[in-house]
Amino acid sequence: MINVLFAAGSDRWAQYEAPLSDAFVRAGLDVRLMVKTDTPASIDYIVYAPNGPLSDFTPFTGLKAVLNLWAGVENVVGNPTLSVPLCRMVDPSLTDGMVEWVTGHVLRHHLGMDTHIHGQDGIWRAGTAPPLAKDRRVVVLGLGELGAACAQSLARVKFQVHGWSRSQKSIDGVMCYSGEGGLKAALCIADILVLLLPLTAETENILNREMLALLPQAAVILNPGRGALIEDEALLDALNDGGIAHATLDVFREEPLPPDHPYWAHPRVTVTPHIASETRVGSASQVIADNIRRGQAGLPFLHVVDRKAGY
Ligand code: NAP
């Protein structure tokens, strides 16, 4: 019998209890799934979410792995009481959602959709045909599970896609950069910039005043990564002086974004409430069951976080 503790919040328990149980059965696993325990030493695996009830892993002396329901791990990766492998969520449906959000919002700005959606005023705006995607440069910072999938989707629409990551990548249809020099080279050509980096000590404020200044005049920024990747004051200044044409922001230092935050009222900012993509219950349950099956079979876990790198 494998003991699995669901420590990802009571609201999610209602969503996950049945799909997780089904996935364990399908994976051939004999699991006792519970939402609380009086015998933490007997727990083999914890299904985890950073805003759940658990922050001290010390009593879980028999733990084999923690399976995060989120792709981002910045709130748990530095937990000093956690010494077993931490697996982040890589869910094909989460990836699909991000590809759709990024592709949709890139196309909104590329096609200048707002001009006509908000321009139903009797004025015939001739001469506003958009350029072709092949003449627009999109840069994706972060070429992991999500960034690489988004970059490939944009390349299929024929955008000129460039991407940047810590290690050098080779992705069909995407010009790949790495290193600090690579970041500057990529920013200099970004008509549309998409941030899909994790939040780590190295990436915090990566889009600071100096880096924002490298972007071409009237560039557009999409941030579905993490709020703290951007230096907010520098972005607001760049939006105010017209250097940046628009920022579509899904994630923020403080969430929910406070009602009086200047982003809400700014005419060049679109706020979306951290909905770019989410873990989907059915596919995520399968991913978790598969990882537990691997652990029980003595195979390496998938998607293990590099604690030193922070993601
Ligand atoms: P991932 O697979 O871990 O990919 C991260 C990418 O960032 C990798 O390409 C990595 O480079 C690169 N990277 C990390 N640190 C770097 C650095 N210092 N310099 C340059 N590149 C660096 O993560 P993912 O699954 O794609 O997710 C990315 C982020 O999206 C998550 O961490 C989370 O914050 C965010 N997210 C947001 C939502 C939403 O709804 N808004 C939903 C899910 C996820 P290497 O390839 O060389 O390792």
pLDDT band at 151 (very low <50, low <70, confident <90, very high): very high
Distance between CA 141 and CA 69 in Å, rounded? 23
> What distance in angstroms lies between residue 121's CA and the mean position of ligand 1's atoms?
42
Question: Do you find a cis peptide bond into 256, omega within 30 degrees of 0?
Answer: yes
Q: Report phi then psi at 64, rounded to 5.
A: -105, -30
Is the pLDDT reported for residue 16 higher than 90?
yes
> What distance in angstroms lies between residue 106's CA and the mean position of ligand 1's atoms?
19
Distance between CA 151 and CA 106 in Å, rounded? 11
Could you count the other beta carbons within 10 Å of the beta carbon of residue 129?
Answer: 8
pTM equals 0.97
Q: Hey, what domains does the chain have and what are their CATH numbers?
A: 2-91+279-296 (3.40.50.720), 92-271 (3.40.50.720)
> What distance in angstroms lies between residue 73's CA and the mean position of ligand 1's atoms?
10
- Counting from 1 in the atom list of ligand 1, the atom nearest the Cα of 178 is 20
Q: How does DSSP classify residue 240?
A: H
What mean pLDDT is predicted for residues 37-57? 94
Distance between CA 28 and CA 50 in Å, rounded? 28
Residue 42 CB contacts under 8 Å (≥ 6 apart), including other chains: 3, 62
Helix (H) or strand (E) holding 296: helix 281-296
Which residue has its alpha carbon closest to ligand 1 atom 17? 166
In the chain, the percentage of residues whose pLDDT exceeds 70 is 100
pLDDT tens-digit readout, 155-211: 999 999 999 999 999 999 999 999 999 999 999 999 999 999 999 999 999 999 999
CB 28 within 8 A of CB 48: no
Q: Which of 51, 74, 100, 166 to mutate to test the pocket of ligand 1 (most atoms within 8 A of CB)?
A: 166
